[in-house]
Amino acid sequence: MSDLVKWLRQQFNADEQAAPNVHALDCELTMTAGFSGPCTCGWADRLLAEVDADRAILDLYEQTEFGDLSRRTALEDVIRLRALPRADRPGYRPEWRP
């Protein structure tokens, strides 16, 4: 599990760096004639907020006592699910699937 947490933190760092450059192609603002960017629709801010929330999940997991098995198991399930959208990236392991 610690390898998955470490890999996910790397993915979140990459997502954070890419957020300002990654954008929905069909955004109402960018489709407007004369648009010159950066877009102010909130897409990048939303991506960054998701990264923050995902990091908080990892923090909760790492702060949970080893003896608190039900909480650890529940957080592990959440972490595996949050990793799934990134399963096509290098380093993802099949055994991490939920």
Q: At what angle do helices 2-18 and 69-83 cross, to 10 degrees?
A: 40
Shortest Cβ contact with Zn ion: which residue? 41
We find the least distance from the C-beta atom of residue 15 to Zn ion, in angstroms, to be 17
Cβ-based nearer residue to Zn ion, 41 or 78 = 41
We find the least distance from the C-beta atom of residue 40 to Zn ion, in angstroms, to be 7
Residues making contact with Zn ion (CB under 5 A): 27, 29, 39, 41, 43
Cβ-based nearer residue to Zn ion, 3 or 28 = 28
We find the least distance from the C-beta atom of residue 76 to Zn ion, in angstroms, to be 35
Catalogue the long-range contacts made by 49-56 (C-beta closer than 8 Å, 24 or more residues apart): 50/15, 51/12, 51/15, 51/16, 51/19, 54/8, 54/12, 54/82, 55/9, 55/12
